[in-house]
Homo-oligomer: A and B are copies of this chain.
Amino acid sequence: MPAAVLFHFPLDPASRLARLALAEARLEVEEAVVRPWEPDCPLVGLNPSAMPPVLRIGDDRRPLVLCETAAILGWIEDQQKAPLLLPRDPAERAEARRLTAWFERRFSDEVNAVLLHERLEKPLLRLGSPDARALRDGRAALKEHLLILEGLAGSRDRLAGRHLSQADLVAAAHLSVLDYFGEIGWANWPSLKDWYVKMKSRPAFRSLLTDRFQGVAPAAWYADLDF
């Protein structure tokens, strides 16, 4: 594989999904941390949305530029000889695709757009202190999603069925950011916790556990494999 650079923001769930997928595929890439809200962010010329993650492969003259998780995950899967991110079984494949869309759309709109705005964007952009009502709404929405995920984790080995898939990676990417901020009361979700312990123990997960966000220490259990 030619030299590649992943442009990412460590506590962005989409960026984490790209990192997990690259690591599961054992594709080594250079990492460039970007701050997409700054005007000189290098993504401005690379991705029309100016948002991470972006994976740039090859030399500077004519690189292959993969913007957004769909292009990055799709490209990774295209490189594989055997299915990696999407299971072979058609029903599990469909479920992995459904859950990916669910996280990138429903979970992002209902949970991240509220909770991560309050806990991550506001301190970053100096927009003032968190709003109590928004936090309450975001936490209520998160609880609804955790209830669904607990049901999935309790009835299946992995979120989409019997095999690890991008559904597990997208869920772990999102939940791990919320876990950094102590937003997940794992004791209430025993099956999901078992699933998350397994995810956290994977080598691909290691680098996420070392991320630190300016001025905010992670929840005490964030980096513990046995919590």
Q: Is A207 an interface residue (CB 8 A)?
A: no
B64, B68, B94, B148: which contacts A101 (Cβ < 8 A)?
A: B68
Q: Select A97's contact among B64, B68, B148, beta carbons within 8 Å.
A: B68
Inter-subunit contact B48/A75 (CB<8 Å): no
What chain B residues lie within 8 Å of A181 (beta carbons)?
none
Contact A78 B101 (CB under 8 A): no
- Looking at A66, A69, A148, the one whose CB has the most chain B CB atoms below 10 A away is A66
Query: A198 contacts the other chain (Cβ, under 8 Å)?
Result: no
Which of the residues B75, B86, B90, B100 comes within 8 Å of A94, measured between beta carbons?
B75
Task: Judge whether A199 is part of the interface by a CB distance below 8 angstroms.
Answer: no
Using known A-B contacts A90-B75, A94-B65, determine if residue A101 contacts B70 with beta carbons closer than 8 Å: yes
Residue in contact with A93 in the complex, picked from B78, B86, B100, CB distance below 8 Å: B78
A71 interface contact, C-beta 8 A? yes
Q: Scan residues 54-87 of chain A and give those whose CB is less than 8 A from a CB of chain B.
A: 64-71, 74-75, 78, 86
Question: A202 near B: Cβ within 8 Å?
Answer: no
Asked if A102 contacts B64 (CB within 8 A), the reply is no
> Are B74 and A94 in contact, with the CB atoms below 8 A?
yes
From known contacts A94-B64, A94-B66, infer whether A102 and B49 are also in contact, taking CB-CB under 8 Å.
yes
Of all A-B residue pairs in the complex, the 9 with the closest CB atoms, nearest first, are: A71-B94, A71-B97, A70-B97, A70-B101, A68-B101, A67-B98, A66-B94, A74-B97, A71-B98
